[in-house]
């Protein structure tokens, strides 16, 4: 039996998918979570075989959840998304995600991908992979992207510094470099550009 944790902030989608997956003889949905923080806590407590994570969740997104879990327990993570931006795929794969697919997939396909990932395989949606190969790469370093990601909800420089365990002056330097590289005048504009291009 494959033990699955399901995390999606849209309650109707989460409960419908959980109900459909429970019809599969070899899949047991052991937890349903409404946000990233809850998903991390429940996964650490239950240690599921596979975590099926929505990308767009409040608090921690699906990739951030996968990153935390991959460092802590031997669970395998699949990220599903409505807007499959190529830059996000690169970030997901770099964080150790084993599967990446659009929400448009049917429950049978999702079940098949869960089985493949549970057996140690990987799955990336072919269209998303093709887009990722042709998409422009971010001019920002991983640390600069971390700073943008940590401040995308309007956090202050000091809050970003605490989140990333950096000195406030270092955060200011990174922000200055980001604004220069992206040719924008505010951190908010930089974050919007990075999100639109799928870099964060």
Tell me the mean pLDDT in the region 112-133: 88
187 Cβ contact partners less than 8 Å away, ≥ 6 residues apart: 148, 151, 175, 178, 179
Residues 6+ apart with CB under 8 A from 138: 87, 145, 194, 197, 199
Global pTM?
0.71
The closest alpha carbon to 100, from 60, 73, 59, 66, belongs to 66
User: Which region among 83-92, 105-114, 138-147 has the lowest average model confidence (pLDDT)?
Assistant: 83-92
If you classify domain 2-134 with CATH, what class do you get?
alpha beta
Q: What are the sequence ranges of the domains in the chain?
A: 2-134, 142-196
pLDDT tens across 19-71, in order?
999 999 999 999 999 999 999 999 999 999 999 999 989 889 999 999 999 99
Quick check: 158 pLDDT over 70? yes
CATH class of 142-196: mainly alpha
């Amino acid at each position: 039996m494959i033990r699955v944790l399901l995390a999606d902030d849209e309650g109707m989608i989460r409960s419908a998918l959980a109900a459909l997956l429970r019809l599969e003889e070899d899949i047991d949905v052991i937890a349903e979570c409404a946000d990233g923080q809850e998903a991390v806590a429940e996964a650490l407590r239950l240690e599921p075989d596979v975590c099926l994570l929505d990308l767009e969740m409040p608090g921690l997104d699906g990739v951030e959840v996968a990153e935390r879990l991959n460092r802590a327990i031997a669970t395998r993570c699949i990220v599903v998304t409505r807007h499959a931006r190529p830059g996000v795929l690169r970030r997901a794969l770099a964080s150790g995600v084993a599967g990446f697919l659009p929400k448009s997939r049917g429950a049978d396909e999702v079940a098949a991908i869960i089985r493949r990932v549970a057996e140690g395989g990987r799955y990336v949606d072919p269209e998303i992979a093709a887009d990722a190969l042709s998409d422009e790469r971010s001019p920002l370093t991983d640390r600069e992207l971390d700073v943008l990601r940590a401040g995308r909800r309007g956090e202050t420089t000091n809050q970003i510094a605490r989140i990333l365990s950096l000195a406030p002056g270092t955060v200011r330097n990174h922000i200055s470099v980001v604004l220069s590289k992206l040719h924008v005048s505010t951190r908010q504009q930089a974050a919007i550009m990075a999100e639109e291009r799928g870099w964060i």
